Amino acid sequence: MEIAVSSSSGRARILYLIVKSFHRFITVVLVSVAITSCTKITPPAPERTTLDSTLTLPGSELIVPIYHSVQELEDMANEKLGADKIIEAKLAISEKDDSLFLSISRFEPLKLEYDGDHGITYTLPVQIVGFIDSKVIGIKIKNKEAVRARVTITLFSDLYLDDNWNLVTKTELKEIKWVEEPKVKIAGIKFNLKPPIQKALEKNKQKIVDKLDASAKDMIKIRQSIEKLWRDIQKPIRINKKIVPVWLKADATDIDGRLFSRSKDTLMIAARLNATLYTVLDSTLVTGKPGPLPQLKRKVNEEPGLTVYAMVTLPFSTLNRVVSQVTDTMEFKFKGHSVHIQSSEVYGTKEGLAIRISLRGDVKADVFLRGTIGFDSLEKKVIIENFGFDLNSEQSLLSAADWFAHDEIIDRLKPYLSIPLDKLFDAIPAMINKGIEKGQLGKKIDIHFDAFQLNIYQYLITTNDIQIIASVKGRANVELQKGLFEKNKKSVAKM
């Protein structure tokens, strides 16, 4: 196409329009260059997981010792028996209707000897006081001074727990040993009272046995101890107070136990508690009363210890609220450039975790980092392994901002992306100690664990949360303090 220009003024007009158009073109180019120098990049985001599921938590097993000092049981038995009469009896001592009225009571403290397994031997010193009714030449007479004798009665009790967690004793009389034989002379007549008194003791031995069995049942409140353990061990324990409050909660499902062989100075009941342990972030969920104490099943045959599985559920909403408090104040300086994090988000992917960080400053971008769940056995915490920039984000940053120091951002973020588990499992001994019966003994029993093995049993990343089941196994080391066996003496017993 040809355009005819008829005058010089027309040619000038056309030249002016050409220059103006070129100026506009140059302005657009310069603006584009300026925008490019602000380095705006938009790498694709890692795909979010759509998984919506819940891990199945295995049951935990806690074998908890409950102690009773034999010496203190002996003291309580003597207090219970007191100096009162154990039995009273009337018996014939001749064919002439002569009678002896007996009163039997304790004159020295009862002694207990525990065999360390299921048996207790009682040594019961008793005194016998009696008065004789006799007839001489048809006249009824009585001795002015009481007939006195002393014997030591030895009894043995088998111990066991009944279905309702009560301590039951099955006692039998083993021996009667004379310490002081009975001697009496009335109206010049000598009476041999040892055979009839021996017979009276044999005849009334069940009364003595029943008295001791009743005392033993009242002294050792096994059911009371077990009920306290059952209730208290299900009370939540707060294991974290900073930033996010966290409670450890145990829901007991069953309990059984038996008398456990230990030592001759300690009566021990091993109670095995089956429970599920989990963490709770909402204080309104830590209420609720435990169910009634189940009946005894007598299945325990292991030493005190534990095999525990605890569920830690961390919602992304909670995690992001905490992470944002840290990342939203982060600022970085790189070779004269300045970048800060405007916002961040952690979410789940099919491969693990992704973290979006929105950068502002000399780089304007939403970039993504990836990682997988790992465990630091030395620090006892869950960490993010293989933590680094997503490949698309890495390449975009390299091409648009080669001055951007990727490692510095990774190093600054990593410390805030871990979950310590030490407090979680440190709380378990406290939970057990809180549940152990101290009652009348008023003693402090501390439980520690040897060979403490803590691991990640299983984990799951869903669209809403991170679920982690941590496992721990330990052998109990029980410390008995405040003179449980001897006054002002501290004893440490290895289980």
pLDDT, tens digit only, all 495 positions of the chain: 444 444 555 555 555 554 455 445 444 433 443 434 455 667 888 999 999 999 999 998 888 777 777 888 888 778 877 666 666 666 555 555 566 677 778 888 889 898 888 888 989 898 888 776 655 444 454 556 677 889 898 989 888 888 888 888 888 888 889 898 887 766 666 666 788 778 777 877 787 788 777 776 666 677 887 888 888 888 888 887 776 778 888 889 888 888 877 778 888 888 888 899 888 877 666 666 788 888 887 665 666 677 889 888 889 998 898 888 888 888 988 888 888 999 999 999 999 999 999 988 888 888 899 999 999 888 888 888 888 888 787 777 767 667 776 788 888 888 888 888 877 777 776 676 666 654 433 344 556 566 667 889 999 999 999 999 988 887 765 554 434 334 433 333 333
**Cβ atoms of 363 and 389 closer than 8 Å:** no
**CATH 2.60.40 given to domain 68-220:** no
Domain with CATH 3.15.10 in the chain: 68-220
Q: Would you tell me how many other CB atoms lie within 10 Å of the CB of residue 138?
A: 5
DSSP assignment letter at 312:
E
Q: DSSP H helical segments within 155-302, as ranges?
A: 194-203, 205-219, 222-232
Angle 483-488-492 from CA coordinates, rounded to 5° = 50
Nearest Cα to Cα of residue 470 among 53, 58, 63: 58
3-state secondary structure 411-429: HHHHHHCCEECHHHHHHHH
Q: How far is CA 350 from CA 46, 48, 347, 372, 386, in A?
A: 9, 7, 10, 10, 15
List beta partners, residue 346. 355
